């Protein structure tokens, strides 16, 4: 287990974006059971999941997790993270909006306290001190334990940290950027790793498997199909498929699934605490869990790093 603030988390975070979307309630329960039975305790969701699906309004993922938590009967051994700012009815980081959104998230999840509450997106329309103060108040009230920043630029992360320090407010404990073998530049070339190292922030990258592209199920020349085709399209380039080719070779040599190798590479990058990855079936969970313990040797790590250099 690693630490994010006062929270003890597994070295892999289960993404909840599929719950209420591509995973049925029954399948979602099985995925969550398989993850926790296998030693995972860190689950990520958002109040906006899955508002992009026709007929959905947001909150479907939280509601699914909440039903599972009530059936499970306990949650003190888990770390639940959710987010605010992108729900269709509760956009932005206005303090009054944060409060309403959090009340909705807690109700759907069945939790009095959310362990890790992310600002899902920046809100340049507001003074930083205004919404950081709102998160600080929620921590004081016991409504959340910690907060983090998702999809924030390095400059804004630094501004949040400076604002919190100058006003005696609680700082964020985690950042959540997109980071994987075919999306490296925004993290590695932006100065983000220097900032997180100097402020002891956890890096919890999303799209650890690039929407499934790094599982090897998409092949060059074949049409992209499935609910994630639009997401995968931006990775499905000549350089992207070269990375997958090397990933398949490394995975075969290490005798693991491609998903395990991709997540292991990411977990072994500087500053990374727990990559986020999701599963659409319980059978997909085991390769994710293996990434918590499988350690690629230096030669295999370097091979994947070199192959993905066009994205660095």
Say yes or no to pLDDT of 99 above 90: yes
- pLDDT at res. 219: 83
- pLDDT at res. 221: 80
Instruction: Give mean pLDDT, residues 227-252.
Output: 93
Which DSSP string do the residues of the chain spell out, in sequence order?
-EEETTEEE-SSEEE-TTBTTTB-HHHHHHHHHHHHHTT--EEE--TTTTTTSTT--S-HHHHHHHHHHHHH---TT-EEEEEEBEETTEES--HHHHHHHHHHHHHHHT-SSEEEEEE-S--TTS-HHHHHHHHHHHHHHTSEEEEEEES--HHHHHHHHHHHHHTT-PPP-EEE-B-BTTB-HHHHTTTHHHHHHHHT-EE--B-TTGGGGGGT---TTSPP-STTHHHHHTT-SHHHHHHHHHHHHHHHHHTS-HHHHHHHHHHTSTTB---EE--SSGGGHHHHHHTTT----HHHHHHHHHHTGGG-
Q: Which residue has the higher pLDDT, 231 or 139?
A: 139
* CATH of segment(s) 2-176: 3.20.20.100
Tokens of 148: 């983090």
- pLDDT at res. 53: 87
Say yes or no to pLDDT of 228 above 90: no
Domain residue spans in the chain? 2-176
Q: What is the pLDDT of residues 108-124, one digit of tens each?
A: 999 999 999 999 999 99
Instruction: Give mean pLDDT, residues 27-38.
Output: 98
Spatial CA neighbour of 94 closest among 113, 119, 115, 117: 119
Q: What is the pLDDT of residues 169-214, one digit of tens each?
A: 999 999 999 999 999 999 999 999 999 999 999 999 999 999 999 9
Percentage of the chain lying above the pLDDT 90 cut: 92
Instruction: Give mean pLDDT, residues 43-52.
Output: 94
Spatial CA neighbour of 35 closest among 295, 275, 286: 286
Helix 60-72, helix 25-37: angle, nearest 10: 60
Name the pLDDT band for 264 (thresholds 50, 70, 90). Answer: very high
Name the pLDDT band for 224 (thresholds 50, 70, 90). Answer: confident
Tokens of 224: 């992209």
- pLDDT at res. 109: 98
Instruction: Give mean pLDDT, residues 156-172.
Output: 98
Name the pLDDT band for 52 (thresholds 50, 70, 90). Answer: confident
Q: What is the pLDDT of residues 58-97, one digit of tens each?
A: 999 999 999 999 999 999 999 999 999 999 999 999 999 9
Sign of the Cα pseudo-torsion (234, 238, 239, 244, in order): positive
Residue pair 258/215 in contact (Cβ under 8 Å)? The answer is: yes
Which H, E and C letters describe 14-43, residue by residue? Answer: EECCCECCCECHHHHHHHHHHHHHCCCCEE
Instruction: Give mean pLDDT, residues 233-240.
Output: 94
Say yes or no to pLDDT of 10 above 90: yes
């Amino acid at each position: 287990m690693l630490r994010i603030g006062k929270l003890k988390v597994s070295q892999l975070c289960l993404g909840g974006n599929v719950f209420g979307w591509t995973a049925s309630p029954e399948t979602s329960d099985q995925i969550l059971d398989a993850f926790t039975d296998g030693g995972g305790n860190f689950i990520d969701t958002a109040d906006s999941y899955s508002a992009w699906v026709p007929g959905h309004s947001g909150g479907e993922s939280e509601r699914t997790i909440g039903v599972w938590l009530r059936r499970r009967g306990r949650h003190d051994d888990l770390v639940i993270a959710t987010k605010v700012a992108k729900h269709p009815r509760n956009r932005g980081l206005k303090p009054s909006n944060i409060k309403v959104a959090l009340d909705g998230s807690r109700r759907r999840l069945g939790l009095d306290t959310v362990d890790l509450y992310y600002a899902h997106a920046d809100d340049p329309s507001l003074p930083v001190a205004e919404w950081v103060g709102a998160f600080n108040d929620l921590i004081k009230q016991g409504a959340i334990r910690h907060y983090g920043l998702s999809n924030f630029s390095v400059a804004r992360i630094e501004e949040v940290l400076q604002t919190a320090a100058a006003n005696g407010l609680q700082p964020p404990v985690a950042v959540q950027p997109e980071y994987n073998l075919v999306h490296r530049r925004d993290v590695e070339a932006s100065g983000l790793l220097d900032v997180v190292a100097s402020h002891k922030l956890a890096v919890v990258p999303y799209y650890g498997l690039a929407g499934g592209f790094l599982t090897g199920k998409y092949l060059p020349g074949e049409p992209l199909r499935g609910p994630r085709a639009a997401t995968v399209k931006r990775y499905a380039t000549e350089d992207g498929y070269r990375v997958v080719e090397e990933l398949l070779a490394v995975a075969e040599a290490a005798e693991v699934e491609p998903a395990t190798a991709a997540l292991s590479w990411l977990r072994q990058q500087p500053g990374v605490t727990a990559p986020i990855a999701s599963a659409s079936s319980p059978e997909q969970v085991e390769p994710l869990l293996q990434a918590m313990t499988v350690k690629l040797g230096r030669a295999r790590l370097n091979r994947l790093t070199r192959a993905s250099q066009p994205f660095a």
